[in-house]
Structure 1
Amino acid sequence: MDTAVELLSGSEGDELFSMRKLASELGTDSSSLYRHFRNRTELMLAIVDRVLVQAMHGYRRQGPWRARLVDLTLRSWDAYAALPQLAKDPSHYPGSGPGSQLVIEETLQALSDARVPEELIPEWYHRLMTLSVSLISTHAARQSSGPSEQKRRLEAFRVITLGADPADYPALAHYARRIEPVGFTRESFLAAVELVLDAVPARQERS
């Protein structure tokens, strides 16, 4: 798993990561890997779970519910930020082991400790996870593209913003030099998470 993570982090796209490439790095052939993983998808699920286990290392269920949820989401962000190829579409690889179980368990426990009505906890769990996965995927897709592609995207964005006619697009023309293409920093990711947490129907003190 450690070798798989290293290979994936160094690749230019997870489509370049293969059972054959991993086997070669390990000094064996791919048939030996198939004794442990039935296919590439099963291997990717195991890698995701390995990443989540590492991300949750040292986590303790202590402190206010909100701080714990922020900690959980930032741990996921940081883990996938180091592996943008894996994070480009994590919905394809949701994980299938103790790492995934731990993240789900702690998210549900935090919502329960917030005294969110029991019937609403699954719904709010889904909202938090959907937001996190979506933003992490967006960031990863941008980071995993090459410098030339990123430059082309930025240039195209500048054309439609800086070139906007104030008569037709007054707000766009006004803010053109201060807005950026879609993408997220750790700070903007946290700000989006905080907005959702503000809406959580908690009955427990937020402080």
Structure 2
Amino acid sequence: MAKRVVPETARRRRRPTKQGQVLTHQLIVETALRMLREHGAAGLTARRLGLALGADASTVYRYFRGMDDLVLAIADELFGHAVDGWSPTGDWRADLRELGLRIHHAYLTHPQAAVLTASRVTGLPQEVATDEIILGILRGAGFPDADAVRIYHAFIDQSLAFSILDAATLALPAAAREADEEVWRDTYARLPATTHPHIAATAPLLVARMNHSAYPTALDMLLASASAQLRG
């Protein structure tokens, strides 16, 4: 049976923690994000989180039903980071492009958290608000509901898929990441045209592009396809 989470007003500590802070839902999420950035998913435990907060590990469970509940809250927090300060321009294509880039950037700012959370569906307020914004943009642009949902589906899954892919690269140890990047220059760029004519012909372009995210290009292709459909 799931543990009952105590309402925020009832669970607020009457005195500060050892760190001089009063525990809140937001503080726990922010501390968990920092721990993920510094120690990775394996380092995020209730015991370690309690130590970082200057509180007993059991205190975390007054705010969250379990560690998975905290993971969902972290995912929702990243959506909040993505839309914070965003405002629509009225140009549906430009607005969706900006939102996509913001989602991608929010996850890449916290690569360890992105790998842990980008595949989750939370149903929490920030995620729901973001989905409402995206669907509103598409329906406001004139897409029929079936098309709006189809494009929304492709848009959000593309954003999150690239977030996981690019975040996984950033989350690698520096030496491993640098070794992967060098493969394009040290292996692909040296393949002879006699055996690999197409790679050899495009090698300089591959070296210039392949260590950067393809997400902006993929996003533009998706939006161009949607725009062509709308015009049609």
User: TM-score band, normalised by the shorter chain?
Assistant: 0.7 to 0.9
1:54 and 2:81 equivalent? yes
1:3 and 2:31 equivalent? yes
Rounded to whole Å, the distance in 1 between the matches of 2:55 and 2:96 is 42
Residues 13-162 of structure 1: pairs in structure 2 closer than 5 A: 13-88=40-115, 90-162=117-189
Tell me if the contact between 1:115 and 1:203 (Cα under 8 Å) persists in the aligned partners. Answer: no
Residue 34 of structure 2 aligns to which amino acid in structure 1? E
Tell me if the contact between 2:33 and 2:113 (Cα under 8 Å) persists in the aligned partners. Answer: no
SS at match of 2:143: coil
Rounded to whole Å, the distance in 1 between the matches of 2:139 and 2:221 is 19
Tell me if the contact between 1:135 and 1:184 (Cα under 8 Å) persists in the aligned partners. Answer: no
- The farther-off stretch of 98-107 and 87-96 is 87-96
Rounded to whole Å, the distance in 2 between the matches of 1:76 and 1:68 is 12
Task: Give 1:53 shift.
Answer: 1.6
Residue 30 of structure 2 aligns to which amino acid in structure 1? D
What is the identity percentage for the equivalent residue pairs of Structure 1 and Structure 2?
Answer: 26
Task: Give 1:121 shift.
Answer: 1.5
Query: Which one has a bigger Cα radius of gyration?
Result: 2
Could you tell me the TM-score, scaled by structure 2's length? 0.78
Tell me if the contact between 2:47 and 2:57 (Cα under 8 Å) persists in the aligned partners. Answer: yes
- The farther-off stretch of 28-37 and 41-50 is 28-37
Report the aligned-residue RMSD: 2.2
Residue 72 of structure 1 aligns to which amino acid in structure 2? L
Larger RCO: 1 or 2 (CA < 8 Å, sep 6+)? 1
Task: Give 1:203 shift.
Answer: 4.8
Rounded to whole Å, the distance in 1 between the matches of 2:149 and 2:187 is 41
Number of residues of Structure 1 aligned to a counterpart in Structure 2: 201
Q: Relative to 1, partners in 2 of residues 1:92 and 1:127: Cα closer, same or farther, differing over 3 Å?
A: closer
Could you tell me the TM-score, scaled by structure 1's length? 0.86
**Unmatched tracts of structure 1, length 5 or more:** none
The match for 1:198 is 224
Task: Give 1:100 shift.
Answer: 0.2
Which of 175, 180, 193 is equivalent to 2:202? 175
The match for 2:7 is none
